[in-house]
Amino acid sequence: MLRTLRPAISLLLALSLLTGLVYPLVITSIAQIAFPWRANGSLIAVHGTLAGSTLIGQAWSAPGEFWGRPSATAPQPYNGLASGGSNLGPTNPAELSAVEARIEALHAADPGNQAYVPVDLVTASGSGLDPEISLAAAEYQRNRVARARHIAPGQVQNLIDAYARRPFLGIIGEPRVNVLELNLALDGVPVSPVD
């Protein structure tokens, strides 16, 4: 019986060492060397204080800030430990009610805006943590942000354009903007756009 178990135990130990220790160390080392900022969470600090990560959305609600995509995480929004969607379909009464409430909040914050509300401002993403919004969602909010900050809408549009991320290779993905980077740029905090 020992003759039969010895190869199985040896293989278990070898594969455990290879896949549980060697492989993660090699991949982590490559990531730290090739992409250190991203490998460490893409964190942004402002004057020595952590402002957030460009990989995880935040709850923005002031009139002078761009609002991100809603979060479906619990018990609090944008909880990285509870990543996931709401699993509510588009005809579910709870989802319809949540979308209507979000549309009302957007209209209450900017009553003069009669434009179509972009879908990513009223529906959560599959992860519930999306840090980016579409350019249409940013442009929908442009006038409200400009009014609240007492600046010209053209200045806000210039920031949207400067921080816009275009599709990879021109065809993969949608044009979008990172909400944290855009809000920090509005505050005059120098953040380098990342393509």
- Region 115-134: mean pLDDT is 89
Mean pLDDT of the chain: 88
Reported pTM: 0.80
- Region 173-187: mean pLDDT is 91
Q: Residue 184: which pLDDT band, with cuts at 50, 70 and 90?
A: very high
Residue 189 has pLDDT above 50, yes or no: yes
90: its two tokens: 């588009």
Residue 43 has pLDDT above 70, yes or no: yes
pLDDT at 190: 66
Nearest to 134, CA basis, from 91, 171, 94, 179: 179
pLDDT at 80: 79
Return the sign of the alpha-carbon dihedral for residues 126, 137, 174, 58: negative
Residue 85 has pLDDT above 80, yes or no: no
Question: What is the number of alpha carbons within 13 Å of residue 125 lying toward its C-beta?
Answer: 16
- Region 23-46: mean pLDDT is 89
Q: State what percent of residues in the chain have pLDDT above 70.
A: 97
How many angstroms from the chain centroid is the CA of residue 75?
18
- For residue 176, the cross-strand partners are 134, 165
